[in-house]
């Protein structure tokens, strides 16, 4: 880390003495563009300085974050979260190495190096990632672009920031050279933070450290464009207080290549990508160590991802046709051991393999300028398999032995053929009003955890409910039927875009009380042996569920100085086969922002209000939360054409509050009881400087 710091500091010096050249769009701020189908957050100079990309989603209608740690926020959209949402990272698909999603896909694009984050509003098109039952989020990091001249020009950005709530510090830079046919860029980032404070103490452990570097090259000749990109992400020790262990390290190598061809009325896009992710976590290096040395645990995991997307688009006078096929496969491994006992091991997942081969067709059609239609269909063929497993518990304890043998003797190969269909219609009734209706069928096959978890463990994709789970080799794919209605009104300086949605999910996958006697006996025996009181294990099962709600975003521009904007989100998720609510669904919430803009400075104040959440899941023993309000202020000042300084205070009133989507504390902490809900961060003063050339 020291080396990288020195390098970045030297780079900063080098550019500081360079003559300043004014660019055209220096320091675009976060702009959430108002479009019919998606919301785009441009981060070229975002004021927020959270190290977690997913936190930006709170600026998008319908989106939220399940917080498991400072780098481990799991995106939630209209009540669905995690693997139910499709993610694209610089054109690539990526599945985490952490069986508890300590490294959600968006953690591989740090906010400091992100250029934009796109969230599809409601039903995602079939042409974006393969499985999008709960929505689609597209992210792109900063890189160079071709220029219009043969002469090479250089450009770059340097960002540094510091914040008080966790003594966090960040240094990030990008430098690039480009002409009309080549571009090359190098980006690097280093960030760290200590345990975060709240008014009653500290959240332990919530420190983090991460470094990220990226190189990319692009080549353009006539109608052909080719680019390659390599990213290395190294996360050091980082807390995940809602889970049983903390991050020791993540080490990831991400590669992707892209070829694009622009023909007369048609274009071709081909992407090839892969990533190799390694991860270690323990329950003894960052949080207080377990007193009983036999309970120390280390879990070493990995994910190998590879895939491609090939699609062709044809444009005609009425719209466009797109057809394509794609493939993505992941192999996950996980080994648990104890440094105090070299004999102890548990193979959590042994070559748990999941591949999705997809083919899709999509058509956009414009009728007479008044109606616009999007229809699409996709077939995904999902194949899963896993190798036999073993572990010392299975060699010593009869119930664990029975679970191992049941798993090893079973047929662990499975395949699903899933059909997704989308139809969306916009009707432009006047210059100011456009009506919208969409219907869809969306599917998702089980995750490897849901299918292959053989021993009752908490490896659940980050549910963080404190329950142990076993997988289920007989799970069916989830199938959702969606309908959404809304309108986009743009009246003078006011615009508003509400959406009402309802979805019915057949075979929704969630944990239900297990009937497997071996699993029940195993957890009982472990409780007796370790003097713990873990509840009876759950087993992933197909149930029925429904989601409905409303989300709205709006903006009113009073004059060239003042503007007001806001969000309102409401979602309800419940079982439709029994009387229960779904787990970890965002409470109703709203955001109200006042902006004041001057030529070279601006100020904004934000009020965020969350209602209580009383619709909690009985099966997951979920606890209710009460509502709260937070105030945030921030501003920025353009010192020169190249240098911008920003400053802000989050949680100005130092409110003590509990975010319903942040889980329960699992680490011994004098300030928060184990099993109690974690508190949100206290007052945070931050500073940020951006230099661009």
Tell me which residues touch Cu ion (CB under 5 A).
Answer: 98, 102, 281
- If the CB atoms of residues 460 and 480 are measured against Cu ion, the closer one turns out to be 460
- In whole angstroms, the minimum distance from the beta carbon of 205 to Cu ion comes to 13
The CA radius of gyration of the chain, in Å to the nearest whole number, is 25
- In whole angstroms, the minimum distance from the beta carbon of 246 to Cu ion comes to 8
- Cβ count near 164 (within 10 Å): 15
Give 158's strand partners. 173, 691
- In whole angstroms, the minimum distance from the beta carbon of 470 to Cu ion comes to 19
- Please give the Cα distance from 549 to 571 (Å, whole number): 4
- 3-class secondary structure per residue, 363-399: EEEEECCCEEEEEEEEEEEEEEECCCCCEHHHHHCHH
- If the CB atoms of residues 275 and 514 are measured against Cu ion, the closer one turns out to be 275
CB 280 within 8 Å of CB 299: yes
- If the CB atoms of residues 283 and 510 are measured against Cu ion, the closer one turns out to be 283
- In whole angstroms, the minimum distance from the beta carbon of 12 to Cu ion comes to 34
- In whole angstroms, the minimum distance from the beta carbon of 298 to Cu ion comes to 10
Each as own residue / partner, the long-range contacts of residues 172-177 (CB below 8 Å, 24 or more positions apart, any chain) are: 172/8, 172/110, 172/112, 172/113, 173/8, 173/11, 173/12, 174/113, 174/142, 174/143, 175/11, 175/15, 176/143, 176/144, 177/144, 177/152, 177/153
- If the CB atoms of residues 102 and 257 are measured against Cu ion, the closer one turns out to be 102
- In whole angstroms, the minimum distance from the beta carbon of 243 to Cu ion comes to 7
- If the CB atoms of residues 68 and 669 are measured against Cu ion, the closer one turns out to be 68
- If the CB atoms of residues 98 and 125 are measured against Cu ion, the closer one turns out to be 98
Nearest CA to 195 among 70, 103, 304? 70
- If the CB atoms of residues 98 and 587 are measured against Cu ion, the closer one turns out to be 98
CB 296 within 8 Å of CB 284: yes
CB 247 within 8 Å of CB 239: yes
3-state helix, strand, coil in the chain (%, to 5): 10, 55, 35
- In whole angstroms, the minimum distance from the beta carbon of 279 to Cu ion comes to 6
- If the CB atoms of residues 98 and 239 are measured against Cu ion, the closer one turns out to be 98
- If the CB atoms of residues 46 and 333 are measured against Cu ion, the closer one turns out to be 333
- Please give the Cα distance from 149 to 151 (Å, whole number): 5
- In whole angstroms, the minimum distance from the beta carbon of 131 to Cu ion comes to 22
- If the CB atoms of residues 338 and 602 are measured against Cu ion, the closer one turns out to be 338
- 3-class secondary structure per residue, 575-624: ECCCCCECCCCCCCEEEEEEEEECCCEEEEEEEEEECCECCCCCCCCCCC
Give the Å distances, CA to CA, from 7 to 208, 253, 385. 21, 21, 45
- If the CB atoms of residues 8 and 102 are measured against Cu ion, the closer one turns out to be 102
- If the CB atoms of residues 135 and 239 are measured against Cu ion, the closer one turns out to be 239
- If the CB atoms of residues 11 and 281 are measured against Cu ion, the closer one turns out to be 281
- In whole angstroms, the minimum distance from the beta carbon of 103 to Cu ion comes to 8
- Cβ count near 501 (within 10 Å): 21
213, containing H or E segment = strand 208-221
- In whole angstroms, the minimum distance from the beta carbon of 664 to Cu ion comes to 17
- In whole angstroms, the minimum distance from the beta carbon of 318 to Cu ion comes to 50
Q: Look at residue 191 and give its three-state secondary structure.
A: strand
5, containing H or E segment = helix 2-16
Give 486's strand partners. 436, 499
- Please give the Cα distance from 533 to 72 (Å, whole number): 27
- Please give the Cα distance from 689 to 158 (Å, whole number): 8
Report CA 119 to chain centroid distance, whole Å: 11
- If the CB atoms of residues 48 and 450 are measured against Cu ion, the closer one turns out to be 450
Q: How far apart are the first and last CA of the chain?
A: 25
Nearest CA to 407 among 341, 457, 445, 477? 457
Residue located via tokens 């009003």: 433
CB 72 within 8 Å of CB 101: yes
Report CA 669 to chain centroid distance, whole Å: 28
- Please give the Cα distance from 245 to 283 (Å, whole number): 4
Tokens of 58: 């709170």
Task: Identify the burial level of 663 via C-beta atoms within 10 angstroms of its C-beta, where 0-12 means exposed, 13-18 middle and 19 or more buried.
Answer: buried
- If the CB atoms of residues 102 and 136 are measured against Cu ion, the closer one turns out to be 102
């Amino acid at each position: 880390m020291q080396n990288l710091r020195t390098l970045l500091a030297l780079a900063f010096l080098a550019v500081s003495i360079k003559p300043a050249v004014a660019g055209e769009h220096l320091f675009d701020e976060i702009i959430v563009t108002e479009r019919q189908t998606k919301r785009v957050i441009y981060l070229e100079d975002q004021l927020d300085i959270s190290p977690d990309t997913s936190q930006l989603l709170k600026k998008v209608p319908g989106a939220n974050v399940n917080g498991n740690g400072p780098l481990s926020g799991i995106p939630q959209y209209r009540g669905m979260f995690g693997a139910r949402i499709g993610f694209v990272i610089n054109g690539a698909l990526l599945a985490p190495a952490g069986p508890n999603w300590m490294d959600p896909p968006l953690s591989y694009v740090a906010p400091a190096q992100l250029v934009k984050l796109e969230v599809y509003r409601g039903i995602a098109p079939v042409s974006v990632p393969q499985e999008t039952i709960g929505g689609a989020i597209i992210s792109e990091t900063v890189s160079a672009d071709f220029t219009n001249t043969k002469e090479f020009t250089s450009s770059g950005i340097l960002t540094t920031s510091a914040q008080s709530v966790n003594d966090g510090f960040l240094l990030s830079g990008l430098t690039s050279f480009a002409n009309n046919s080549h571009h090359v860029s190098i980006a690097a980032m280093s960030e760290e933070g200590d345990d975060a404070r709240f008014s009653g103490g500290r959240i332990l452990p919530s420190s983090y450290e991460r470094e990220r570097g990226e190189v990319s090259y692009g080549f353009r000749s006539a109608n052909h464009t080719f680019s390659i990109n390599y990213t290395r992400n190294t996360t050091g020790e980082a807390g995940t207080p809602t889970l049983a262990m903390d991050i020791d390290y993540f080490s990831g190598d991400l590669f992707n290549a892209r070829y694009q061809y622009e023909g007369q009325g048609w274009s071709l896009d081909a992407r090839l990508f892969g990533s190799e992710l390694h991860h270690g976590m323990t329950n003894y290096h960052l949080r207080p160590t377990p007193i009983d040395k036999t309970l120390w645990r280390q879990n070493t995991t990995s994910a190998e991802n590879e895939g491609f997307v090939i699609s062709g688009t044809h444009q005609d006078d009425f719209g466009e046709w797109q057809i394509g096929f794609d493939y993505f496969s992941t192999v996950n491994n996980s080994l648990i051991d104890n440094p105090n006992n070299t004999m102890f091991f548990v193979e959590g997942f042994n070559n748990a393999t999941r591949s999705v081969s997809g083919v899709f067709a999509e058509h956009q059609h414009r009728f007479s300028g008044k109606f616009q239609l999007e229809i699409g269909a996709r077939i995904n063929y999902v194949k899963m398999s896993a190798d036999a497993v073993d572990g010392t518990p299975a060699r010593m304890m009869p119930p664990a032995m029975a679970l191992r043998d049941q798993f090893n003797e079973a047929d662990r190969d499975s395949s699903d053929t899933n059909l997704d269909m989308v139809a969306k219609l916009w009707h432009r009734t006047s210059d100011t009003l456009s009506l919208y209706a969409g219907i869809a069928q969306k599917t998702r096959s089980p995750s490897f955890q849901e299918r292959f978890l053989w021993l009752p463990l908490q490896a659940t994709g980050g549910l963080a409910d404190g329950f142990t789970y076993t997988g289920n080799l007989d799970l069916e794919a989830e199938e959702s039927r969606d309908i959404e209605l809304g309108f986009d009104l743009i009246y003078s300086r006011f615009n508003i875009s509400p959406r009402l949605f309802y979805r019915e999910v057949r075979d929704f996958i969630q944990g239900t009380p297990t009937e497997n006697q071996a699993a029940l006996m195993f957890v009982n025996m472990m409780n007796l042996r370790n003097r713990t009181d873990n509840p009876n294990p759950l087993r992933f099962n197909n149930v029925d569920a429904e989601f409905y709600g409303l989300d709205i975003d709006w903006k009113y521009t009073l004059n060239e100085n003042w503007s007001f904007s806001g969000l309102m989100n409401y979602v309800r998720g419940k079982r439709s086969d029994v009387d229960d609510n779904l787990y970890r669904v965002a409470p109703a919430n709203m955001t109200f922002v006042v902006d004041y803009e001057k030529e070279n400075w601006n100020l904004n104040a934000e009020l965020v209000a969350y209602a209580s959440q009383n619709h909690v899941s009985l099966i997951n023993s979920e606890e209710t939360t009460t509502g709260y309000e937070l105030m945030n202020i921030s501003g920025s000042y353009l010192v020169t054409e190249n240098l911008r300084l920003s400053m802000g205070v989050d949680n100005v009133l130092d409110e003590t509050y509990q975010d319903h989507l942040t889980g329960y504390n699992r680490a011994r902490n004098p300030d928060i009881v184990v099993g109690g809900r974690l508190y949100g961060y206290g007052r945070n003063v931050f500073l940020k400087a951006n230099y661009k050339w």
